Amino acid sequence: MTSEPSAPTEQTTRSLSRIARTAQRDSRTPALVAGVGRHGSLLWSEGVGRADLDDPSVPLDANTQFLVASNTKTFTAVLTMQLRDEGKLTLDDTVDQLVPGTTHPHVTVRELLSHTSGMQREPIGDVWDTLEFPDRDGLIEGWNAAERILRPHNRWHYSNLCYGLLGEIIARLDGGDWADSLRRRLLQPLELRRTTLQLTAPYAGLYYLPPFTDVPVNEPTLDKGAVASAGSICSTLADMVTWHGFLLDPDESILSPDTAEEMRQPQIVVDPGWNQAWGLGFQLVRRDDHIWFGHTGGLPGGITGFFSEPESGTTGAVLMNNSGANDPAGIAVTLGDHLLVHDPAPVEPWQPGTHAPDELKPLVGQWFSEGTEFTFAIADGKLTARLAQVSTIQPPSVFEREGDDTYRTVSGRERGERLVIRRREDGSIRQLNWATYRFTREPLSFGEPTP
């Protein structure tokens, strides 16, 4: 049983505060809210600066709304995967199949989610110059007129246009529009009451800081039209930490935990140093030995970053209201990583099991494959296996019974592969075959027969 997350130490909170205040100064952002959480519980937060330069009464805390912008894409990605799990689409379905009348054949849902389609970044019409975004009809017309500037899967290329198309696909398959699906499927059941599609008081002002003056300029509020599914959500630190708690450990009635894990699997590497990759809707960032998943967001007057580390359930978050604010991913990961490294969660005690099935008892102990030793054991009533020399901190492979003398690997090494028990004529176990590889009680070469 997991214990309740504990508050950080005083030393940790001082360090987190210093990180937040340094980020606010470096980004010259009038307002910054930073925080860390574990498993969806907000453990520390701090507001730095003033939310509204014209109204000092506007609070700046974990419940102050900011534009979270492209963090919207994590919601759109989850809606897409919900429809996939319901059998309404597959990741290999193409846009022209799901949205009749569109051109650009062979652009798949997987490519839209992972920014690997090669389609151009934005809707046609110089939208970031005119600040006028298409309606649903205009989105489809613009999709057909847009360029496929790269070969699919050749390079990662970010595309708001593609997430606009995902919103249209969700609307068509789910009925209504994307916003209806968002509220009904995610915001309402998760009680994200301060997550909306329009700024709702109290909220931070929208500013831009010119490079050669310290006097902020007001930024306009945009109507993203049919590209709302790419970046229109407004939210708070508290709600977004709750959202990441859900992504870390989903309610199965809303999203399968297996699907959430699938979304965190790399689809393409972004940089030559392999420090950033992209999953199905999630940005993946390597920091030392940990992989953080999440997203950044940027709109006029709103720059945000929210990232979580799955093994520890740690989340780092930052929200800023200067269009030119710096490195939201780096700030969020630095906050979360500081908590993870300097104030880790307590080690959960080992808990004894309650039963050891008789059919598993002959399988436990040492087995060898290709001369390498594995340890098979019973844990929580299930058969497990791990390399003998690997630390017990690493999760083992776990098997579930599929039939007589047949098991399926449901997690860990060789996930999805079968484990088959081979018996002698007297019924004793001669060997195991796991993913076809032979496992015997004594180390053997490939050519030696099993005794």
Residues of the chain with pLDDT under 70: 1-3
Per CATH, the architecture of 358-439 is what? Answer: Beta Barrel (2.40)
**Could you tell me which of 301, 129, 283 has the C-alpha nearest to residue 208?**
301
Q: Which residues contact 353 (CB under 8 A, 6 or more apart)?
A: 378, 379, 380, 381
Q: pLDDT tens for residues 15-64? A: 999 999 999 999 999 999 999 999 999 999 999 999 999 999 999 999 99
**Could you tell me which of 163, 144, 174 has the C-alpha nearest to residue 225?**
163
- Give me the phi and psi of 87, to 5 degrees please: 80, 15
| Per-residue pLDDT, 1 | 45
Ordered by start, the domain boundaries in the chain are: 10-342, 358-439
Q: Domain 10-342: give its CATH superfamily.
A: DD-peptidase/beta-lactamase superfamily (3.40.710.10)
Q: Which residues contact 221 (CB under 8 A, 6 or more apart)?
A: 199, 206
The CA-atom distances, in angstroms, between 405 and each of 15, 84, 375, 377 are 55, 33, 19, 16
Which residue bears the tokens 């897409």? 80
The Cα 441–Cα 448 span in angstroms is 13
| Per-residue pLDDT, 394 | 80
Residue 309 exposure: Cα atoms within 13 Å on the Cβ side = 25
Q: pLDDT tens for residues 269-284? A: 999 999 999 999 999 9
In a 3-state reduction of DSSP, which class is residue 129?
helix
The domains spanning 10-342 and 358-439 adopt the same CATH topology: no
The Cα 374–Cα 412 span in angstroms is 14
Give the burial class of 266: count Cβ atoms within 10 A of its Cβ; 0-12 exposed, 13-18 middle, 19 or more buried.
Answer: middle
Other beta carbons less than 10 A from residue 358's beta carbon? 7
Query: Which amino acid would we find at residue 104?
Result: H
Q: pLDDT tens for residues 324-333? A: 999 999 999 9
* Angle formed at CA 331 by CA 329 and CA 337, multiple of 5 degrees: 95
What sign does the CA torsion over 64, 68, 74, 77 have?
A: positive
| Per-residue pLDDT, 4 | 74
Longest alpha-carbon distance in the chain:
87
DSSP structure class, residue 364: -
| Per-residue pLDDT, 347 | 86
